[in-house]
Amino acid sequence: MLYIVMEGDLKALSSNNLLFKYADDTNLLVPEITDVDIKDEFNNVLKWAADNCMTVNFSKTKEIVFHRPSARYSLPFVITGIEQVVSAKLLGVTFSHNLKFDEHVKNILTIFNQRSYLLKCLQGQGLPARELHTVFCALIVSRILYALPAWGGFLTADLISTIDAYLCKALRWGYNGSVKLLYELLHDADMKLFRNMLRSTHCIHQLLPPLKFIPMKLRTSHCAFVLPYCHYSLYKHLFVLRCIFDGAY
């Protein structure tokens, strides 16, 4: 709580740049077109830290450049003392520079293999099927559901098949009482979060596009929001747009 209060006055220099803060984690997002570049923004963070008698941990500070997979680009100059990486973990989700989540799924599968051994031991010790299913949901399914709306829509067919294959194996091994494939888990998670964010008091309500305003009475539309123009199919994979285009509400 003390850190949150102290960091309350840390702001980005430009309105085009975004500064995300969560507990003791601070993230700076600078788009390609901006009036203040990332070096000046980072120097502003360093100055704020010095003024408040705080230290930036350079060993834990990373820079990642996001780009479309097919785009031709050149990496910007590396900020002195900061490592430029191709993937970085943010609040438990691994983001890659090409906007794919192969690395995140790889990390999840590693966790699955580790925790499957524990489930096997519990099963060998005679834990009943009902309790074993509860442990499976707590250790495995919860890991899939964590922030699923943020990354689930960007998975390739191969990654989806890999996760589904493990869920089906868990059913055969007796860990899972009833199998739900990734598509069903993602759909349920999308519905729950999207319906909650429709409330004006929800913390991500501002991410919704504006409501439609039609001066004349026309046929009832299934969509109450202004549909944005998507220049790339990847744009439709975003959680909010995915729900709107699917008529989630």
Other Cβ atoms less than 10 A from the Cβ of 151: the count is 20
Other Cβ atoms less than 10 A from the Cβ of 38: the count is 19
Q: How far apart are CA 199 and CA 191, in angstroms?
A: 14
The closest alpha carbon to 140, from 123, 117, 161, 158, belongs to 117
pLDDT, tens digit, 9 for 90 and up, residues 216-228: 665 655 677 777 7
pLDDT at 247: 62
φ, ψ of residue 90 to 5 degrees: the values are -125, 110
**H or E element at residue 239:** helix 239-245
pLDDT at 70: 66
Q: How far apart are CA 105 and CA 156, in angstroms?
A: 11
Question: 93-96 and 25-29 as β-strands: parallel, antiparallel, unpaired?
Answer: unpaired
Q: Which residue has the tokens 């609040």?
A: 91
pLDDT at 189: 92
pLDDT at 21: 85
pLDDT at 222: 62
pLDDT, tens digit, 9 for 90 and up, residues 114-153: 999 999 999 999 999 889 999 999 999 999 999 999 999 8
Q: What is the pTM of this model?
A: 0.81
pLDDT at 51: 92
φ, ψ of residue 120 to 5 degrees: the values are -65, -40
**DSSP helix/strand/coil, 40:** helix
pLDDT at 5: 82
pLDDT at 219: 60
Are the C-beta atoms of 86 and 63 separated by less than 8 Å?
no
pLDDT at 214: 66
Burial class from Cβ neighbours inside 10 Å (0-12, 13-18, 19+) for residue 176 reads: buried
Burial class from Cβ neighbours inside 10 Å (0-12, 13-18, 19+) for residue 104 reads: buried
Where are any strands of DSSP class E within 97-226? none
φ, ψ of residue 168 to 5 degrees: the values are -70, -40
Question: 25-29 and 18-22 as β-strands: parallel, antiparallel, unpaired?
Answer: antiparallel
Q: Which residue has the tokens 């923004």?
A: 41
Residues of the chain with pLDDT under 50: none
Q: What is the pLDDT of the chain when averaged over all its residues? A: 86
The closest alpha carbon to 28, from 16, 130, 85, belongs to 16
The closest alpha carbon to 141, from 103, 179, 107, 106, belongs to 179
